[in-house]
């Protein structure tokens, strides 16, 4: 495919000059360079309104983000060799920060590879492509991963619904080598397994690894409730960190089967139990049964996926936090997280404070965390910062 030109309207190059890489369709001079007729994933040279070259990337006429800049170096547009280069740069960060090969290796825009996520489970790779531009490079992406990592297998989890925004279909594909049913990883000195094909997203939520590690100092025996536990990443570690008893709640039966498997794998089965339920119902029922917990973990899915969900999503976070606080024992710890970019740190804290007041509790913020270092934040792209975790002490009102 030859390279087309994409000319921006006057002053619409500001965001790119400040380091961002997205172009919205209303920023393009479509008279000079019509988007219509361009193929999804088309390689483009991006120029300002005077024709000055800004960078190269790819376009998709069917997407609101109609193009993404990938390279500001004329000599190095998006090719297989650029992919290899960027993968190596991404790998060097992970190798510096991790002693074991279990991490997110590529986090899209933040690693200079918009539309690509790559997770590493030792010598097995699970990747996800979310843009037409990366989809067009699929063969090169697979070849680059093979060259840099020499993995035993590469699975493409291209079944995310956000692909719909780019007009892409959803599928799972074994792109290279072999892939067992279960992926194995280590975190916090424990072994975990997730299902390669049926697991959520790309399998494991590596973004919470640092926040989970922080939990150890808060556990002094006691009962722990892990809400939206998925495969037990928090809960099983809480048990290993010394909790007396852990209850994992999730709406997915498959996830809870893996909680049991992971508890067994780490000799924690006696301490860990599971309950399949909607989180809101489970919290209500536990309250009516007068259950109490010394530490509660709330790590729900994103309740605010798009800005327009803000009001409803905020209410859901508030209800969940309120309900959790009611279950805490007198001097309890609440670890609450939000992975919604549209829920700011300030708003989450305010909401937790309000939930405290509502329940006649006094809340102290002890620590806060963000996404782990294998999910670097691109300072020019606020959307790449999404995870917030608060460690709170909840007391009767002063
Ligand atoms: N805490 C997990 C990640 C959670 S992902 C970890 O650290 O690995 C979100 C989880 O919430 C998924 O397992 C999903 O099945 C579950 N879930 C989504 N909506 C739910 C609901 N309303 N009630 C209970 N669980 C829910």
Query: Is residue 14 scored above 80 in pLDDT?
Result: yes
H/E run at residue 71: strand 65-71
Segment 363-388 mean pLDDT: 97
Tokens found for residue 155: 């699975």
pLDDT band of residue 20 (cuts 50, 70, 90) is very high
pLDDT at 2: 82
Q: How many angstroms is it from 336 CA to the middle of ligand 1? A: 13
Residue-wise pLDDT for 36-77, tens only, equals 989 999 999 999 999 999 999 999 999 999 999 999 999 999
Q: What is the phi/psi pair of residue 269, to 5°? A: -55, -35
Helix axes 345-358, 310-327, angle to 10 degrees: 50
Segment 256-277 mean pLDDT: 98
Residue 204 Cα: closest atom of ligand 1: 8
Q: How many angstroms is it from 150 CA to the middle of ligand 1? A: 33
Query: Is residue 379 scored above 90 in pLDDT?
Result: yes
pLDDT at 1: 62
- CA-closest residue to ligand 1 atom 13: 230
Q: Which of 205, 232, 213, 187 is nearest to 126 (CA)?
A: 205
Ligand 1 pocket, mutate which of 102, 183, 301, 389 (most atoms under 8 A from CB): 301
Q: How many angstroms is it from 281 CA to the middle of ligand 1? A: 14
pTM of the shown model: 0.97
Domains and CATH numbers, the chain: 3-71 (2.30.130.10), 80-179 (3.30.750.80), 184-396 (3.40.50.150)
Residue 226 Cα: closest atom of ligand 1: 1
Instruction: Give whole-number Cα distances, 122 to 192, 210, 341, 370, 395, in Å.
Output: 12, 19, 29, 24, 43
pLDDT at 329: 97
Residue-wise pLDDT for 285-317, tens only, equals 999 999 999 999 999 999 999 999 999 999 999
Residue-wise pLDDT for 86-132, tens only, equals 999 999 999 999 999 999 999 999 999 999 999 999 999 999 999 99
Segment 245-257 mean pLDDT: 98
Arithmetic mean of pLDDT over the chain: 97
Pocket of ligand 1 (CB under 6 A): 200, 205, 208, 228-230, 233-234, 250-252, 255, 278-279, 299-301
Please report where in the chains the tokens 């690509």 appear, as a residue.
Answer: 116
Residue-wise pLDDT for 339-354, tens only, equals 999 999 999 999 999 9
Segment 171-192 mean pLDDT: 98
Q: Which of 81, 162, 148 is nearest to 118 (CA)?
A: 148
**CA dist., res. 169 & res. 88, Å (int):** 29
Residue 231 Cα: closest atom of ligand 1: 8
Segment 355-363 mean pLDDT: 96
Q: Where are the alpha helices (DSSP H) in the chain?
A: 14-17, 80-97, 132-136, 138-149, 209-213, 233-240, 253-265, 279-288, 310-327, 345-358
Of 66, 228, 248, 339, which is the active-site residue? 339
Residue 281 Cα: closest atom of ligand 1: 23
**CA dist., res. 316 & res. 133, Å (int):** 35
């Amino acid at each position: 495919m030859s390279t087309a030109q994409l000319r921006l309207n006057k002053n619409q190059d500001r965001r790119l000059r400040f380091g961002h890489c997205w172009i919205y369709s209303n920023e393009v001079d479509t008279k000079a360079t019509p988007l219509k007729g361009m193929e999804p994933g088309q390689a483009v040279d991006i120029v300002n309104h005077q024709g000055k070259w800004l960078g190269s990337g790819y376009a998709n006429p069917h997407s609101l983000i109609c193009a993404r800049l990938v390279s500001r170096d004329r000599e190095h547009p998006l090719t297989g060799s650029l992919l290899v280069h960027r993968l190596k740069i991404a790998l060097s960060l992970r190798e510096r920060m991790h002693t074991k090969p279990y991490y997110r290796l590529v986090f899209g825009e933040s690693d200079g590879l918009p539309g690509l996520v790559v997770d590493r489970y030792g010598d097995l790779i699970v990747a996800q492509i979310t843009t037409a531009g990366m989809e067009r490079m699929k063969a090169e992406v697979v070849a680059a991963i093979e060259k840099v990592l020499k993995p035993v297998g590469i699975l493409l989890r291209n079944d995310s619904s956000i692909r719909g925004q780019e007009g892409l279909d959803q599928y799972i594909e074994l792109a290279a080598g072999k892939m067992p049913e279960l992926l194995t990883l280590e975190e916090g000195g424990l072994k975990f397994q997730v299902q390669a094909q049926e697991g959520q997203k790309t399998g494991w939520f590596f973004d919470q690894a640092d926040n989970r590690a922080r939990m150890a100092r808060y556990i002094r025996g006691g009962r722990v409730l892990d809400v939206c536990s998925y495969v037990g990443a928090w809960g099983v570690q809480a048990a290993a960190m010394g909790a007396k008893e852990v209850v994992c709640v999730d709406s997915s039966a498959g996830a809870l089967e893996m909680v049991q498997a992971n508890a067994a794998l780490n000799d924690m089965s006696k301490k860990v139990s599971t309950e399949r339920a909607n989180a809101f119902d489970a919290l209500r029922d536990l309250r009516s049964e007068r259950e109490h917990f010394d530490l509660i973990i709330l790590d729900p899915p994103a309740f605010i996926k798009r800005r327009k969900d803000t009001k409803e999503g905020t209410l859901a976070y508030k209800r969940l936090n309120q309900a959790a606080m009611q279950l805490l024992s007198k001097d309890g710890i609440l670890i609450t997280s939000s992975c919604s970019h549209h829920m700011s740190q300030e708003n989450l804290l305010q909401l937790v404070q309000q939930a405290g007041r509502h329940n006649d509790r006094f809340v102290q913020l002890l620590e806060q965390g963000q996404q782990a270092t294998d999910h670097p934040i691109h300072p020019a792209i606020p959307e790449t910062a999404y995870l917030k975790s608060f460690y709170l002490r909840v007391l009767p009102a002063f």
